[in-house]
Amino acid sequence: MYRNFFRALENQKEIKFLRANINYTTIYFKMRERVISKTLNLVMGELDQGRFCRCHRSFIVNFDHISEVDFKNNIIKIDSGEVIPISRRSRAFVRRFSKQYIMTL
């Protein structure tokens, strides 16, 4: 089970975003999805903290795949068209994270 977990995370550049569903996490890659039996908190500990941002209680996004961050409507648009919500509680953190991410480019 742990081998599949780490295999799913080995190519983090391919991950667009992650979505929580109780004790499961769905990892959305460019061309596929994978469900693992780990909580979003456990998965977040294994991800690159300079690339991935927890924008909502149920979502982690990879800033490499973001096309737009709309703080007025509290959403993040992924380059493939998906729309991810930004929670009110996470809005300030996402704003700081996006500024730091842009500075590292």
Return all residues near 10 (Cβ < 8 A) that are at least 6 apart. none
| Closest to 63 (Cα-Cα) out of 1, 8, 22, 18 | 18
The confidence band for 1, taking pLDDT boundaries of 50, 70 and 90, is very low
Using the structure block, give the residue that is written with the tokens 């927890």. 54
Task: Give me the pLDDT at residue 11, please.
Answer: 83
Domains defined along the chain, listed by start: 2-104 (2.40.50.1020)
* Digit-coded pLDDT (tens) for 29-86: 988 999 999 999 999 998 999 999 999 999 999 999 999 999 999 999 999 999 999 9
Using H for helix, E for strand and C for coil, what is the string for 52-103? EEEEECCEEEEHHHEEEEECCCCEEEECCCCEEECCCCCHHHHHHHHHHHHH
